[in-house]
Amino acid sequence: MRPGSDLVIVGDVHLDRQDEDLPAFIAYLRGLAPRAGRIVLMGDLFNLWIGAPELEQDHHRDVIACLASLKSGGTEIHYLEGNRDYRIARAHGGGAFDAVSDTGLREDWGPRRIWASHGDLVNRDDLQYRAWRRLSRSTPLWWVFSAIPRARRFAIAESIERRMRATNVDMKREFPDALVRSYAERHLDAPGGAVVLGHFHVERELRAGPGGTGRIYVLPEWKGSRRHLRVTADGEMGFEDA
């Protein structure tokens, strides 16, 4: 943590091939660096990201190069794997990213205690998704996948991406307030603590915890909002425009 610097948390971006928002997003990241001691990306940075060099494309490589440059300049870069990310820690942990997790990261900043997670694990009753998540990230499945010819792997990846667009329709239609609060209660471990989530593509600031002293922040998706969450060295938290 650079003295006096801020923590900046960025929600889902969902970049795609030949995405018209790609140059703007890279410029945005570079603009954050002077004040940001750490940038946390909340997952689903791309519509689909498989952490394998032979499957990454130009839009992946452009953003990875930008993040690596920011990291070498002294800004910590953390990543929370989302439901469209696969094996990012193995591919880029220690490279573009200082820390990567597929469950959650402790992002304490100044006096503020913060738990950050993508948000796809909020619904503990979605057993079908949780089973798919475990299977799709398992080592045996990746051994099989890696043995498939590269062109066929691309086709499989495209099929996965199309199916992901149709998942969790009910969760996208209506914000799951009760589920989010229940999840947050399990991770608020200090008065004045905060839980930060992505995934739901809406902006929310909710009171939580004993006496309502805790906070839940849900990040809006970046493309439509151009907003992020900033935490100052004094622990002040709030949403702001890019």
* Domain-located, residue 74: yes
Dihedral, 183, 187, 190, 193 alpha carbons, nearest 10: -70
Work out how many domains the chain is built from and give that number.
1
C-alpha span between 80 and 89 (Å, rounded): 9
| pTM for this model (two decimals) | 0.92
pLDDT at 168: 54
Paired with 6 in beta bridges are: 36
Phi, psi (deg, nearest 5) at residue 174: -140, 130
- Is position 77 within any domain? yes
Q: Is residue 110 part of a domain?
A: yes
Report pLDDT for 172.
56
> Percent of the chain beyond pLDDT 90?
71
For the chain, the average pLDDT equals: 91
Please give the pLDDT value at position 31. 97
CA distances from 58 to 40, 63, 133 (A): 22, 9, 26
More confident of the two residues 164 and 74: 74
The CATH code of the domain that includes 191 is 3.60.21.10
Quote the pLDDT of residue 62: 98
Instruction: Say what the pLDDT of residue 127 is.
Output: 85
pLDDT band at 49 (very low <50, low <70, confident <90, very high): very high
Quote the CA–CA distance of 112 and 92 in Å, as a whole number: 28
Q: Is pLDDT at 198 greater than 90 in this prediction? A: yes
In a domain, 1, yes or no: no
Q: What are the CA-CA distances from residue 94 to residues 67, 76, 91, 100, 242 (Å)?
A: 12, 11, 9, 9, 27
pLDDT tens across 86-126, in order?
999 999 999 999 999 999 999 999 999 999 999 999 998 88
Q: Per-residue pLDDT for 200 more than 70?
A: yes
pLDDT at 201 over 60: yes
In the β-sheet with 204-208, what is the strand arrangement from edge to edge? 105-106, 114-117, 194-197, 214-218, 204-208
Q: What are phi and psi of 204, to 5 degrees?
A: -140, 145
User: Would you state the pLDDT for residue 23?
Assistant: 98
In this prediction, residue 212 carries a pLDDT of 85
What are the tens digits of pLDDT across the range 140-160?
A: 888 888 888 877 887 887 787
| 201 in any annotated domain | yes
Lowest mean pLDDT among 128-132, 178-182, 194-198, 213-217: 128-132
Give the residue with greater pLDDT, 160 vs 17: 17
Domain that holds residue 206: 6-241
